[in-house]
Amino acid sequence: MKHFRNLIFTFLLLTVFFPFTSFCNDDIKLVPIGKVVYIYSFLKHPVVDTVLSDCAKTLKCEDVILSIDCEEKGKAKSLKDMQNIMKLEKTKISANILRNGKNKTLLMNSDELRLYQLSSFSAGLGTITAIDKDGNFIGLSHELSAVKNNIDFEKIKIYEADFIQQKKSSEDDVGFLVGNSVGNFLGEITKVNNFGVKGYCSNFKYNPNQALSIAKPKLGKAYILCTDPVTSELNLHEIEITKVEDELSTIKIIDDSLIKFRGGIVKGMSGSPIIQNNKIIGGVRSTKISNPKEGHITNIDSMLGITLK
């Protein structure tokens, strides 16, 4: 879906993944995952998914529909009730929406309402960064835009994805990963914030021999753990950390295969773990639109909501 496929530029949390706020770098051991998963977000409020006609001028894609008032049908809050209003002809309605975080009340009629495809869920690909011994995971490395715009969500489930392909990035045209859900339920996302998502994987078996410590990024060579562009198998791909800041760091893709087949970074790679000196230092966050061989990562302490000493 359109609003979900933009997740790499943008994928609200008061509690943290771990019960403390300050750690030595060796206190936490996580298993890096790098697995691309299919994500289904069941939204609390319907959202405008597609505008079906140029005649539809009132609503925009990604508008959140809080309610629709109609004298004949009353106030509709569910997708089904809104669709019942669509069945009316030439009936005046008012839509209470949320657009870019601001409430608006817009007047229109039922005929125009039929020109919008509304949806109560969003779906797309993302990457799990790492998981702890209890099956708690972090991923995506940025806010989940569909949830952010929707205030809240009912539930977000993740499923196994099949063979991963890609549309290659080029200047001013960011590509994306392609894959389908194969139906195997993996777990749920329970928390969403500006630095990624957190959740629980129900069938993960912890292997202490695969667990790595965490650390702040440093300038120099590092690696992305992500699916290979050809084989779809997990491999390490060389990058360079070119700038380190408190929450985010800047990277440059060095690996030939990522450049040749993906043009650098593509949508769906968000959350791919970054390994440096055999430690997890963050996850892929975004790409530079004008040069997809460059981008940003979210530092691991920002993803976890902790302070590293």
> Any idea what the CATH number is for the domain that residue 12 is in?
2.40.10.120
Q: Helices (DSSP H) in the chain: which residue ranges?
A: 2-5, 7-10, 79-86, 110-113, 145-149, 256-262, 300-304
**Judging by beta carbons within 10 Å of its beta carbon (0-12, 13-18, 19+), is residue 245 exposed, middle or buried?**
exposed
Tell me the per-residue pLDDT of 90-103, one tens digit each, with 9 for 90 and over: 999 999 998 887 89
pLDDT tens-digit map of 289-307: 999 999 999 999 999 999 8
Shared-domain flag, residues 262 and 287 = yes
Residue that terminates a domain, selected from 114, 131, 148: 114
Residue 190 lies in a domain: yes
Question: Is there a single domain that holds both residue 95 and residue 199?
Answer: no
Residue 103 CA: distances (Å) to CA of 23, 42, 98, 100, 151 = 40, 21, 5, 9, 11
Last residue of a domain, one of 114, 141, 165: 114
Residues 276 and 215 in one domain: yes
Q: How far, CA to CA in Å, does 295 sit from each of 9, 210, 242, 248? A: 10, 27, 10, 10
Do 170 and 28 sit in the same domain of this protein? yes
Q: Are residues 138 and 57 in the same domain?
A: no
- Give dist(CA 178, CA 92) in Å, integer: 41
- Together in a domain, 135 and 278: yes
Residue 122: the pLDDT is: 80
Domain that holds residue 269: 2-43+122-308
Q: Are residues 205 and 288 in the same domain?
A: yes
Q: Is position 39 within any domain?
A: yes
For the beta carbon of residue 163, count every other beta carbon within 10 angstroms. Answer: 11
Q: Which long-range contacts (CB under 8 A, 24 or more apart) does 55-58 make?
A: 55/112, 55/115, 56/112, 56/115, 56/116, 57/112, 58/95, 58/106, 58/107, 58/108, 58/112
User: Do 159 and 237 share a domain, yes or no?
Assistant: yes
Q: 63: closest CA among 192, 151, 149, 153?
A: 149
Q: What residues of the chain score a pLDDT lower than 50? A: 1-23
In a domain, 262, yes or no: yes
pLDDT of residue 307: 87
- Residue 230's CB is within 10 A of a number of other CB atoms, namely 11
Mean pLDDT value across the chain: 87
**Domain presence at residue 82:** yes
Q: Are residues 248 and 126 in the same domain?
A: yes
Element (H, E) at 154: strand 153-161
Whole-number pLDDT of residue 255: 97
Residue 63 lies in a domain: yes
Q: Name the phi and psi angles at 274, rounded to 5.
A: -105, 125
User: Do 57 and 145 have their domain in common?
Assistant: no
Pick the last residue of a domain from 114, 147, 162.
114
Per-residue pLDDT tens digits for 120-165: 888 889 999 999 999 999 999 887 765 555 555 668 899 998 888 9
pLDDT computed for residue 3 by the predictor:
40
Q: Report DSSP state, residue 208.
A: G
Distance, CA of 82 to CA of 233 (rounded, Å): 44
Residues 33 and 168 in one domain: yes
- Whether 48 maps to a domain, the answer reads no
Number of compact structural domains in the chain: 2
The answer to whether position 57 is within a domain reads: yes
Same domain, 214 and 130: yes
